[in-house]
Structure 1
Amino acid sequence: MTDSNFIKIYTGNFAVVNRITIELNALDISPIIKDQSESAILGGFGGTLAPDFQEVFVHKDELDKALPIIENITNELQP
């Protein structure tokens, strides 16, 4: 297994991931979005059991700036 310089900071649906991406970009953080279902479809394997979930990764050096964004957004989503 290779060591990565990126850390997963969120897993959720497209709408929330899109908002997180916008707010991270505003801080000059370029997240990586991993969509397993899209990758499976493009690879010819069909979809996954949770087609609307994506993962957000940021570089380790940007983690401290990114975590408050995730906390604020997830706190707003709480009922």
Structure 2
Amino acid sequence: MKDSNYTKVFTGNFIIVQRLVSELEAENINAIIKDESESGRLAGFGSSIQGQQDLFVNKEEAVAALKIIEGVTAELDA
């Protein structure tokens, strides 16, 4: 995503990324999920191994998004 207004703020498994997207949407922050393994599967190069997903947000919302992500990940680690 070069030359983009989006920046990567998190990489993790499907479940955690979905939780983060839900929390971000609750604060009106739109996130984009990039999943290389799912893209490959849809193109016919599938694998049975679930990969990591990257979470991107608008650069202007990155600071707020990172605070939410830190809170959620701290809660999950506890």
One fold, TM greater than 0.5? Answer: yes
**1:25 counterpart residue number:** 25
Structure 1 runs, 4 residues or longer, greater than 3 Å off = none
Structure 2 residue 64 is the aligned partner of structure 1 residue 65: yes
TM-score by length of 1: 0.86
Q: Which runs of 5+ in 1 are unaligned?
A: none
Residue 6 of structure 2 aligns with an amino acid whose one-letter code is F
- Which secondary structure state, in structure 2, belongs to the residue aligned with residue 28 of structure 1? coil
Residue correspondence of structure 1 range 1-79 to structure 2 within 5 A: 2-47=2-47, 51-79=50-78
TM-score by length of 2: 0.87
Residue 24 of structure 1 aligns with an amino acid whose one-letter code is L
Residue 63 of structure 2 aligns with an amino acid whose one-letter code is D
Q: Which runs of 5+ in 2 are unaligned?
A: none
Identity of aligned residues (%): 50
